[in-house]
Amino acid sequence: MAKILVVGAGLSGAVLAQQLAAHTDHKIIIVDERPHVAGNCHTARHPPTGIMTHVYGPHIFNTSDLQIWQYIKQFGQFANYVNRVKAVTELGVFSLPINLLTINQLFKTTFNPREAQAFIHAQADASIDDPSNFEEQALKSVGPLIYEAFFRDYTIKQWGCDPKELPASILKRLPIRFNYDDRYYSNKYQGIPIEGYTVIVERMLADPNIVVRLSERYDPSWNLEFDYVFYSGPIDAYFSYREGRLGYRSLIFQQEIYAGSDYQGNAVLNYCQGSIPYTRVHEHAHFTPWETHRSSVYYHEFSKETEPTDTPFYPKRLRADKVLLTKYRALGALEKNVSFLGRLGTYRYLDMQHVVKDSISAAMAFARSTPPWDRFPAFLNTEAEE
């Protein structure tokens, strides 16, 4: 029996620990500096209203991979839930992602799919062959009006930089649909756990071979006490930022209580105008339509640059960050008996389904390996967007 340390009790570390406990006889110790498990998908009841809130912002589990869907459902009942986001712009309120209804409302037309596709193609900047940044990708895909109404100012607020500095891949995650499908996610399976994500993670970690230690800040000196370490925190923090800090965005949530049962009529409204400082407003009662509450709680969400005391949310992956990441990955490859995983450990933008898949893959690879594990890879599944 080996002693394995898993740093981070978010979804990445929890799935890894659960799978290691299920497929090996190792002793798993999982630590987290927060006082709760589940990381950024932590959910909790809001005391004044009783509403189940997504404490660090909305999370809708979605995947087209049946095995991933069946895996997560082992740990709790999921209610079917389809996220339908609305965008508040200077020109009105529209469905997001851009779809046929958005196009017809915005341009006051009655296009069918073929007409809309031809129209948007005519709006696009044909001089851009290979988009090298977010702005070029937007102009090539949808043209200037849609870019300026929906994406330009919102992107500046969300990422804190000029859209020309961001990779084109960020916009590629938002599809343009030439039908009336207004689902934010198009994956086959979509849902929210009825008891919240934290209960799901707690059940993952309920194995007798898993010890959970919360409110403890990991120190690399602990590595000597364990046979192997899986680290899901920020990779630059692991090395005490010796090469510099990678760029992340953090979020601030301003909570408001509404005396009625429905403040805004939808779970999420994106505010695309540069004149409004917050990026979106989410009202959490809409994430649990199977419940009834007399009052409501909603959050204004602000995006900011990550400072030393902030929780990092989104890797920025600007050009300078990618250079820095290469240095940290080189350092990580030199570590003995340590692997890096998760959004922060590999510095990749990952949805929950990708986190689950990567952690299962890492755990199964480790279960098939044999000690002393000094040749087990420091990075697994490091494919990323450009």
pLDDT of residue 203: 98
Q: Is 301 annotated as catalytic?
A: yes
- Model pTM score: 0.95
Catalytic one of 241, 258, 314, 349: 349
Confidence of residue 168 (pLDDT cuts 50, 70, 90): confident
Catalytic one of 135, 154, 177, 231: 177
Contact yes or no for 181/99 (Cβ under 8 A) = yes
Measured at the alpha carbon of residue 107, what is the angle toward residues 143 and 185, in degrees to the nearest 5? 70
Residue 19, pLDDT above cutoff 70? yes
Q: Is 202 annotated as catalytic?
A: no
Lowest mean pLDDT among 275-279, 371-375, 379-383: 379-383
Catalytic one of 249, 317, 343, 348: 249
Q: Is 177 annotated as catalytic?
A: yes
Pick from 271, 333, 263: nearest CA to 302: 271
pLDDT of residue 169: 80
pLDDT of residue 383: 56
Q: What gap in Å lies between CA 261 and CA 374, rounded to an integer?
A: 56
Q: pLDDT, tens digit, for every residue of 238-295?
A: 999 999 999 999 999 999 999 999 999 999 999 999 999 999 999 999 999 999 999 9
Q: Is 245 annotated as catalytic?
A: no
pLDDT of residue 1: 85
pLDDT of residue 385: 46
Q: What gap in Å lies between CA 107 and CA 145, rounded to an integer?
A: 10
Q: List Cβ neighbours of 183 (8 Å cut-off, separation of 6 or more).
A: 82, 83, 84, 190
Residue range 315-344: mean pLDDT, rounded: 96
Confidence of residue 170 (pLDDT cuts 50, 70, 90): confident
Percentage of residues in the chain with pLDDT exceeding 90?
Answer: 93
More confident site: 283 or 383: 283
Residue range 113-127: mean pLDDT, rounded: 95
Lowest mean pLDDT among 103-112, 203-212, 307-316: 307-316
pLDDT of residue 386: 43
Catalytic one of 115, 125, 227, 351: 351
Catalytic one of 184, 228, 280, 283: 280
pLDDT of residue 326: 96
Query: Nearest 10 degrees: CA dihedral of 22, 24, 25, 29?
Result: -70
Residue 384, pLDDT above cutoff 80? no
259: exposed, middle or buried (Cβ count in 10 Å: 0-12, 13-18, 19+): exposed
Confidence of residue 342 (pLDDT cuts 50, 70, 90): very high
Q: pLDDT, tens digit, for every residue of 31-48?
A: 999 999 999 999 999 999
Contact yes or no for 181/93 (Cβ under 8 A) = no
Residue 174, pLDDT above cutoff 90? no
Q: Is 348 annotated as catalytic?
A: no
Domains defined for the chain, CATH in brackets: 3-37+205-242+316-368 (3.40.50.720), 85-172 (no CATH)
Q: pLDDT, tens digit, for every residue of 50-63?
A: 999 999 999 999 99
Average pLDDT, the chain: 95
Pick from 312, 321, 372, 177: nearest CA to 329: 321
pLDDT of residue 282: 98
